[in-house]
Amino acid sequence: MQPRRRDALKSPRFPILTFDEWQLRLALGSFFKIEWLMPGESLVSILWKFARANALPGQVLLELIRSEVCEGVVPLQNAFDLTQLGRLIRLPRSMLTESLLDVTRGQRYVEAFRYCRHCAAHGYHSVLHQLTEENSCPAHQQSLETRCLECLHEMPFIVSSRVIDAPFRCLWCGSHFSYGRLSSVSTTPAMRKKDINAIRHRVQLRLRSDVGQR
């Protein structure tokens, strides 16, 4: 008898379920807490946390969000059905609207994923980080990065199965954008109160600015 291969003894990374079974599982109750999120948290950051909390493969989550998108969509407000999205991840429409870019109001954005290493270390990415007018993090006053500090590649700012499966990591080499591995899906307990307030203040200023441009 041939010996069993060592990798055959390993359990699969995700449960092997059909797409309908994934839908039923989430319908019976997905696991997510609004308290895990912070002001201006980008949809990419939100989906990373949702996928991790519910052990969802990126491809399944992408199909649940918007089945006609096979691989990759820029997180713009007009690219998603916010009612369907809110029902899936159990978040209010106002928070989802804040998490997405709005080019109809003249928002210009950086196409590469742009991040603050300190925020990434706390499991947070802001939609502010993607705006061309914002060059530094409002909480940490650190210049925003677009390249992986290990392999120097840029990652596109999109929602895709590959991106969802690599939370706060480089798509090309797997290095973390932060200073170490994330220990939790929750951001708030790790972030200092003054940093949260600084981010909240900047998000509110940005929202008021966008309203004034209508």
pLDDT tens series, the chain, 214 aa: 444 333 333 334 545 555 455 454 555 456 788 888 999 999 999 999 988 888 888 888 887 876 555 568 899 998 888 888 888 888 899 999 999 999 888 889 999 999 999 999 888 999 999 999 999 999 999 999 999 999 999 999 999 999 999 999 999 999 999 876 555 566 666 788 899 999 999 998 877 666 555 4
Q: How many separate helices (H) and strands (E) can be counted in the chain?
A: 8, 0
For the chain, the domains span: 33-212
| pTM (2 d.p.) | 0.81
- pLDDT for the residue numbered 26: 56
Determine the 3-state secondary structure of 212 from DSSP. helix
- pLDDT for the residue numbered 32: 80
Determine the 3-state secondary structure of 50 from DSSP. helix
Nearest to 118 by CA among 184, 169, 191: 191
- pLDDT for the residue numbered 35: 86
- pLDDT for the residue numbered 40: 93
**How long is the chain?**
214
Tokens of 167: 């939370």
Residues paired with residue 147 on neighbouring β-strands, in sequence order: 154
Compute the half-sphere exposure of residue 197: CA atoms within 13 Å on the CB side of its CA: 3
Phi, psi of 25 (to 5 degrees): -60, -45
Nearest to 52 by CA among 205, 197, 167: 167
Cα of 96 vs its chain's centroid, Å: 12
